[in-house]
Amino acid sequence: MSDARLIYEKRGNQAHIQFHNPAAHNALTSQMWHDLRDAARDIASDRAIRVAVFRGVGGKAFISGTDITKFADYETGQQGVDYERDIDDCMGAIDAIPCTTIAVVEGWAVGGGINISSACDFRIATRDARFGSPIGRTIGNCLSAASVARIGGAVGVQRAKRMVLLGEMLTAQELLDSGFLLRIVEREALDAEADALAVRAAENAPLTTRATKEMIRRMTFGALPDVEDLIAEVYGSADFRRGVADFLARTKKVPDWAGE
């Protein structure tokens, strides 16, 4: 993944973030996660920025997940707790962006892709876009309380359960009908639609946007429970180690979970 990187630039009153790892369908490396956190904090500190647009490169994926190769070295549940804290730190920086955020989704939005798109205020997608977090059928880890609140709040609790407990990938049409997607856009019109939406968002009163977003952020994350014991149990399990090994071996089968 030597070519994996985050591309961050400002254009007038707009900020643009691109996820660039086409060889792995834009899976996020640790460095990309941390660069994303830093870019989000920079956007938050720049009052000239009125809108931020997030997009994957290549047309096949927004983000296909996270590079999990380091999970092969995990031996304790505390390592999982530390990892989820790190992801929460990165995602929290996106949640705290005070201007309007837009996700432009082509193809897969999986794992970190559904999390980041859920953190955005608006989402537009191509008709072939698919959204999910099938961790119960792949590596057998779990999400933090903040991630569950974020995704569940955006897609609805029952759809979030289908993503995680059944491993379903939800279609763009279903998520348009539910309100998660603002609209479905044909590929040839996607650039123009994203530009028009960004311009409209940038015209809004910035203090109105800032206050409204902060109210929603506090309502969503203000009273989350402590779930680190649950995270440690999952990441410290033999099932997790088995899931990671099978995934990295590309066995393409659901692991034989033992529940321990």
Q: What is the DSSP letter of 211?
A: H
The answer to the question of residue 81 being in a domain is yes
The answer to the question of residue 101 being in a domain is yes
Q: Is the pLDDT of residue 1 over 90?
A: no
Q: Which residues pair with 63 in a beta bridge?
A: 109
The answer to the question of residue 225 being in a domain is no
What is the reported pLDDT for 63?
98
Total count of domains within the chain = 1
What burial class does residue 22 get, using C-beta atoms within 10 Å of its C-beta: 0-12 exposed, 13-18 middle, 19+ buried? Answer: middle
Range of the domain at 84: 5-188
Smallest Cα–Cα separation from 123: which of 158, 89, 170? 170
Give the predicted TM-score (pTM) of the model.
0.96
Per-residue pLDDT tens over the stretch 19-61: 999 999 999 999 999 999 999 999 999 999 999 999 999 999 9
Query: Which CATH number characterizes residue 145's domain?
Result: 3.90.226.10
Q: What percent of the chain has pLDDT over 90?
A: 97
pLDDT-derived band of residue 18, with 50, 70 and 90 as boundaries? Answer: very high
The answer to the question of residue 216 being in a domain is no
Distance between CA atoms of residues 90 and 2, nearest Å: 21
CA 157 to chain centre: 16
pLDDT-derived band of residue 148, with 50, 70 and 90 as boundaries? Answer: very high
Q: What is the dihedral of CA 154, 156, 158, 160, to 10 degrees?
A: 0
pLDDT-derived band of residue 2, with 50, 70 and 90 as boundaries? Answer: low
Is residue 66 within 8 A of residue 111, CB to CB? The reply is: yes
The answer to the question of residue 39 being in a domain is yes
How does DSSP assign 66-101, residue by residue? B--GGGGG--SHHHHHHHHHHHHHHHHHHHT--SEE
The answer to the question of residue 20 being in a domain is yes
What is the reported pLDDT for 253?
87
The answer to the question of residue 243 being in a domain is no
Lowest mean pLDDT, pick from 93-97, 227-231, 255-259: 255-259
Residue 72: HSE in the Cβ half-sphere, 13 Å Cα cutoff: 9
The answer to the question of residue 251 being in a domain is no
